Amino acid sequence: MLNKNCTVCGKEFDQPRKNKLYCSDSCKQKAHTLNKKRLENELLGESKQERIKEPLYSFKFSEFQATKDIINTIETFCFVRKNIVGNFNPIYFKEYVEALQRNGFFDELEWEESKLNKEYNQFKLMYHSGLVKIEFED
């Protein structure tokens, strides 16, 4: 058997296999937790060294103002608008939102157990962490 140092705590341990990295199950679990947190931070752009400089999405505030009679929060507007490419047309967008309302989209958005609600909450995290840009015209 070879002696090796644990990659988490640095403690020396007997290595029964070539590829064993950790001295105990608790160090293995600790490494898993640290890697998971690091990956989440990178995905959300919250790691200070690797913070994403450019926003992932960009929206115009004037587009929201043109439709705020049917969508009352800018977060919801951005969540719905992000899937539409091309030039913004308020008439077509309102028709699209009305179709979503008829199909229960906004009810599902509020239902905590739905996949759509989880996507919406993840989008709101991105929105509040600066990954969504709102452009104001002068």
Tens digit of pLDDT for each residue in 37-88? 777 776 666 555 455 567 788 899 999 999 989 998 999 999 999 988 888 9
Task: Return the closest-CA partner of residue 31 out of 39, 51, 2, 12.
Answer: 39
pLDDT, residue 6, reads 79
pLDDT, residue 64, reads 92
**Residue type present at position 120:** Y
> CA 39, 116, 50 angle in degrees (round to 5)?
20
Span 97-119, average pLDDT: 91
Cβ-contact 114, 95 below 8 angstroms: no
pLDDT band at 12 (very low <50, low <70, confident <90, very high): confident
CA distance 53 to 87: 25
Q: Between β-strands 57-60 and 132-135, what pairing exists: parallel, antiparallel or unpaired?
A: parallel
CA distance 15 to 31: 18
Average pLDDT along the chain? 83
Check: pTM over 0.75? Answer yes or no: no
- Tokens 């009810």, located at residue: 107
For the chain, percent of residues with pLDDT exceeding 70: 89
Task: Return the closest-CA partner of residue 50 out of 61, 59, 40.
Answer: 40
